[in-house]
Amino acid sequence: MRGLMMDRPLLIQHLIEYAGQCHADTEIVSRTNEGPIHRYTYAEAERRSKRLAKALKRLGIDAGDRVGTLAWNGYRHYELYFGVSGIGAVCHTVNSAPLRRAAPLHSSITRRQGRSSSTSASRP
């Protein structure tokens, strides 16, 4: 008797796979930090996240590594979240509140011993 409710582990990457398969044509709408509205589907988001995961692997990011992100809440960060998690790495979203001072930001990143970081351009 298995006694389990699920037949696979509960991992973040399964959410984007499910959305890409079962809601492939459903649109994701976000505003880019440059201003315009960005639209694409869950199928496209899944594809792009997996492509990003492969690129991270080529850069030497492995399972268990920490990848820091400092980005606006948009489609690029959405893809980072699933791409990083999809290879078993830890996606560390850096809080942008201390941006006014470099020391707290540096401290936040170095305490978590990140192997890589990703940032998003910002409007003033």
Give the chain's domains with CATH numbers: 12-119 (3.40.50.980)
Query: Tell me, what's the pLDDT at 122?
Result: 47
Query: Tell me, what's the pLDDT at 97?
Result: 54
Query: Tell me, what's the pLDDT at 29?
Result: 96
DSSP, res 98: G
Name every residue whose Cβ is closer than 8 Å to that of residue 118 and which is 6 or more positions away in sequence: 67, 68, 69, 70, 71, 80
In tens digits, what is the pLDDT along the chain, a chain of 124 residues? 455 666 777 778 889 999 999 999 999 999 988 889 999 999 999 999 999 999 999 999 999 998 888 777 889 989 999 999 999 998 888 766 545 555 555 555 555 555 555 545 444 3
